[in-house]
Amino acid sequence: MSSKKLSLPTEHCETCPAFTQLEQMGLSLDNFDRVVALAGNPNTGKSTLFNTLTGLKQHTGNWPGKTVTRAEGGFEFNKVRYKLVDLPGTYSLLSASQDEEVARDFILFGQPDCTVVVTDATALERNLNLVMQVMEITQNVVVAVNLMDEARRRGLDVDTRSLARDLGVPAIPIAARSGEGIHTLLSTIEQVVNGEIETQPMRIQGTPEFQRAVAELAPMIEAAAPGVPNARWLAIRLLDGDAKVQQALLSGELANLVTRQSRADVQFSKKMAIEGRQ
């Protein structure tokens, strides 16, 4: 995590002026500047956070897998408009079940500017598995450690600074239900999106053979699709025999991805220049 100081207030902030910088836009998605994806295990309060941010009252039942397609909403923070995409809750991105494919494809091909992984503070170990899988695909990750209130009630003390240090990405304690920590989360997202925070995602090492194989394959992918942000992950997927990634490679979709992304970057900076926002 960068040494950037987060000086913004973190506790219940509905009354302080900073909170008013969040403007819920519900479904008005015609014109947005940035895309943020919400990933997370089932039952981590992902949909609650989605509702808090967008103002949409999407229903959130407490049973596994209730969000099966992705929901979209919008919010505005510090005059930048974000599209928020709520991905299906999954334990992993490897199994290729229907919901996992929706989530994975969006993070890989939808190229969100930032992916927020919502985790359950009371079952962190299980949740970090997904965090690390997401960090393999993209490095613009913010971990939202949700249900902090629940954790306190159960006598759990979660040290998010230790977490951020180990993971190499920001980890923000929140309680989506009461709104605790939402402002800090938003400003962290903002900083990750415009590069003020540089993340250094932790990645698993694996066996020596595995490392050798990845080291051999990843440069080939980078050469075939210059600028691809996740050659390492793609290499792992190819080693695992992921049919979808194989197809994307054969059809040239991977190379397209990269150009699409850089075009979006140009457009955004142009817009910023014209409207004088920073």
Partner 1 sequence: MNLILWLSLVPALLVIVFAPRYGLRTLLGNWREMRTRELMEDALKHLIDREQQGRHASPESLAGTLGLPAAKVMNIIARMNSQNLIEHRGVELYLTPEGERWALHVVRAHRLWERYLADEARLPLEKIHAEAHRREHSLTPAQADELDAALGYPTRDPHGDPIPNRDGVLPSGGGTPLTAWQTNRPARIVHLEDEPELAYAQILAAGLRLGQTIRIIETAPERYVLSDGEAEYLLAPAVAANVHVAPLPESMLALTDAVPLDELRHNQRGEIVALDEACQGFTRRRFLDLGLTPGTTIYPELKNSFGDPRGYRVRGTLIALRREQANQVWVKPT
Partner 2 sequence: MPPNPTNPPDATEILAKADQLRGTLGTGFRDEIVKSLYNEAETIARRAVHAEGDHKYDFDQRIDRIVTSPIFGLPIMLLMLAVIIWITVIGANAPSNLIASGLFWVEAQAANLFESWGIPWWITGFLWHGVYRGLAWVIAVMLPPMAIFFPMFTFLEDLGYLPRVAFNLDFLFKKSGAHGKQALTMAMGFGCNAAGVVATRVIDSPRERLIAILTNNFVPCNGRFPTLIMLGTVFVAAAFPPAFASIAAAGSVVGVVVIGVIFTLVVSWALSKTILKGEASAFTLELPPYRRPNFIRILYTSLIDRTLFVLFRAVQTAAPAGAVIWILANINLGNVSLAQHIADFLNPFGLLLGLDGVILLAYIIAIPANEIVVPTMLMVYLGTGMMTDLPGLNDLKTLLVDMHGWTMLTAINLMLFALLHNPCATTIITIYKETNSKKWAALGALLPLGIGFVVTFTTASIARLFGWV
Contact status: 94 vs partner 1 (CB under 8 A): yes
Task: State how far the Cα of 84 lies from the Cα of 97, in Å rounded to an integer.
Answer: 23
Q: Please tell me what DSSP assigns to residue 77.
A: E
Binding mask 168-207 for partner 2 (x = CB under 8 A): ---------x------------------------x-xxxx
Would you tell me the crossing angle of helices 98-109 and 243-250 to the nearest 10 degrees? 40
Does 43 engage in binding with partner 2 (CB under 8 A)?
Answer: yes
Q: Which token pair is 84?
A: 């928020």
Residue 277 CB partners (closer than 8 Å, separation 6+): 79, 80
The partner in contact with residue 85, picked from partner 2, partner 1, none with C-beta cut-offs of 5 to 8 angstroms by kind, is none
40 forms beta bridges with: 118
Q: Which of 80, 116, 192, 235 binds partner 2 (CB under 8 A)?
A: 235
Any contact of residue 243 with partner 1 (CB under 8 A)?
yes
User: Which residue of 79, 210, 259, 267 would you call a contact of partner 2, by CB under 8 A?
Assistant: 210
Binding of residue 98 to partner 1 (CB under 8 A) = no
Closest of 111, 181, 117 to residue 149, by C-alpha = 181
Contact mark string toward partner 2, 102..131, x via CB under 8 A: -------------------xx-xxxxxx-x
Rounded Cα distance, 270 and 276, in Å: 10
State the DSSP H helix or E strand holding residue 147, giving kind and residue range, or none if neither.
Answer: none
Q: From the list partner 2, partner 1, none, which binds 243 (C-beta under 5 to 8 Å, kind-based)?
A: partner 1
Beta bridge partners of 82: 34, 75
Give the one residue of 17, 208, 241, 276 binding partner 1; rule: CB under 8 A. 241
Radius of gyration of the chain (CA): 18
- In the structure encoding, which two tokens stand for residue 222, read together? 């980078």
Count of residues interacting with partner 2 (CB under 8 A) = 71
Task: Please select the residue that binds partner 2; options are 14, 223, 256, 270, rule is CB under 8 A.
Answer: 223
Residue 222 lies near partner 2 (rule: CB under 8 A): yes
Q: Which of residues 140-169 bind partner 2 (CB under 8 A)?
A: 150, 154-160, 162-163, 166-167
Q: How far apart are CA 11 and CA 174, in angstroms?
A: 9
Cβ neighbours of residue 243 under 8 Å, at least 6 residues apart? none
The answer to whether 38 and 54 are in contact (CB under 8 A) is no
Pick what 269 binds: partner 1, partner 2, none; C-beta below 5 to 8 Å, kind-dependent.
none
Site for partner 2 in 61-80 (CB under 8 A): 61-66, 68-69
Quote the tokens at residue 208.
Answer: 């020596």
Provide the minimum distance between the beta carbon of 62 and partner 2 in the complex, in angstroms, as a whole number: 4
Among 76, 81, 194, 224, binds partner 2 (CB under 8 A): 224
**Per CB under 8 A, 157 contacts partner 1:** no
Residues lying near partner 1 in the complex (CB under 8 A): 91-92, 94-97, 122-126, 129, 240-243, 246
